Amino acid sequence: MSGVSIITGGGSGIGAAIAKRLVSRSQPCIIIGRRLNKLEETKNASANPSLIRTVVADVSNLDDHDIIVNSLKEGEKVKALIQNAGVLDPIGSLTKVTPEQWKNHMNINLDGPLFLTQKLIPHLLPRNEEGKGGRILHISSGAAHNPYRGWGAYCTSKAAFHMLYKSLSKELSPKGISVGSVRPGVVDTPMQDLIRDQNDSDFPDVGRFQQLKQSGNLIDPDDVATFIDWLLNETDDVEFSEEEWDIRNVDREKWINYL
C-alpha cells in the first residue's frame, strides 16, 4: 500500500525512531516538529534522507495544521498518521497547575491530534481491494489508565486521548480508515530524562524511574519503531483497531525480526 506516513513529534525519541525505521524500508515520511534542527538531525541520521520531508509546525497551533496539509504533494495520499507529539511537563500537583499549563497539556495531547486528524481525513488512502485503507495510530501511555501523583494534567489528557482513539475508530471505520492506539512502555527518550530530573516532592515516584534507567530496563526506541512498523503493516483492520496494543503484552518473537 503506497502513500506517505506523517509523524508528529518526529524530531526526537519515538517519533524519530519510527521515521528512521520506515525510510530504511523505503517508506517516505513527513516528520513534524517545532525545532528545525531536531528534525534535520533525524533526517540526516536516517538511512535514506531523501525520503524524509521536514515540516516545522506546532500541532497545538491550529493554524499550523494547514502547513502540514500543504506539505503533501499534489494527489499524494497518507498511508499512516502517527500521532506521537506529546507533553508531560510541567510536573506537579493539580492543586497548583495554572490555567495556561492545563490548556497547554490539552492543546498538545488532545486538541491538536483531533483537529489535525480532521484536516487529514480527506487525504488518507481509501480502502483498497485487500480491504486496507489509511491508518491513524495514537502513541498512548500507561498514564492514560493509571494516575501518578504529579502527572495529573498529563494523565487526564492521555485518558481523553485514549477515548478519542476509541471514538474515532467507531466513526471512521465505515469510511475505510482504521484508528489504533499503542502503549510503547517506558522508553529511553528525552521525556524519561525529564522524569528522572524531578524531585520527589513534585513526583513521588521518581525513584522508580531512576531505577529503571540504572538497571537497563528502559525500552529501546528502535524496538518500539520496529513494533509499530509491524503493527501498521501486518495487522488487519480489526486487529489494529479493536483494542489498544501494549508492546509488553505481544510476543517479542512475533515482531522483533520483522523484515
Spatial separation of the C-alpha atoms in residues 24 and 150, rounded to whole Å: 38
Q: Is 178 left (phi over 0), alpha (psi -120 to 50) or beta?
A: beta
- Taking CB atoms within 8 Å and a gap of at least 24, the contacts of 170-174 are 172/121, 172/136, 173/237, 173/241
Q: Is 258 a catalytic residue?
A: no
Output the furthest CA–CA distance in the chain (Å, rounded): 56
- The values of phi and psi at residue 169, to 5°, are -60, -45
Catalytic residue, chosen from 148, 154, 165, 258, is 154
Spatial separation of the C-alpha atoms in residues 195 and 206, rounded to whole Å: 7
Catalytic residue ranges: 154
